[in-house]
């Protein structure tokens, strides 16, 4: 019982841990970091390189999207975004991309 209380108190003290991914924040991050290369709009083309976020939403699972943002393969020119994004940013971005699926 005491452990539950301590855990709840800890969660309340760290709102970042308790937060759900926020697609609107993901959109802002995308505008800041991703538009140089990707079309981030919901009406993005299905065939272009690098892929539009709309196409990624259709062809990839959220696990794949998250891992590609964190660990892009070294042979592609996608920058190592984990240098500027923390784990919750990656979840926000993934939530934004997944939400574009049509
Ligand atoms: C400098 C250009 C560049 C920037 C900036 C960039 N990307 Fe990429 N991204 C690429 C390239 C190139 C690929 C590789 C496509 C391939 O060959 O698989 C890629 C691939 C991806 C993939 C995997 C696509 C797939 O086929 O599964 C995701 C997800 C992704 N980017 C998300 C992002 C996000 C989110 C941001 C912003 C935080 C971002 N990218 C910023 C160039 C970029």
* pLDDT per residue as tens digits for the range 71-86: 888 777 888 888 889 9
Nearest to 53 by CA among 6, 1, 99: 99
Question: Does the C-beta of 58 come closer than 6 Å to ligand 1?
Answer: no
For the segment 42-65, the average pLDDT, to the nearest whole number, is 96
Query: In whole angstroms, what is the distance from residue 89 CA to residue 53 CA?
Result: 16
Query: In whole angstroms, what is the distance from residue 42 CA to residue 3 CA?
Result: 45
Which atom of ligand 1 sits closest to the CA of residue 65? 29
32: tokens are 């800041």
Query: In whole angstroms, what is the distance from residue 37 CA to residue 78 CA?
Result: 9
Looking at per-residue confidence, does 44 or 1 come out higher? 44
Give the per-residue pLDDT at 2.
58
Question: Does the C-beta of 28 come closer than 6 Å to ligand 1?
Answer: no
Give the per-residue pLDDT at 74.
76
Residue nearest to atom 32 of ligand 1 (CA): 69
């Amino acid at each position: 019982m005491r452990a539950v209380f301590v855990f709840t108190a800890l969660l309340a003290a760290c709102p970042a841990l308790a937060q759900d991914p926020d697609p609107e924040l993901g959109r802002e991050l995308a505008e800041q970091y991703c538009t140089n290369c990707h079309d981030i709009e919901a009406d993005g083309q299905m065939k272009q390189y690098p892929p539009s976020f709309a196409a990624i939403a259709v062809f990839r699972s959220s696990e794949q999207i998250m891992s590609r943002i964190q660990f892009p393969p070294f042979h592609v020119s996608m920058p190592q975004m984990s240098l500027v994004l923390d784990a919750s940013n990656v979840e926000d971005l993934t939530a934004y991309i997944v939400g574009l699926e049509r």
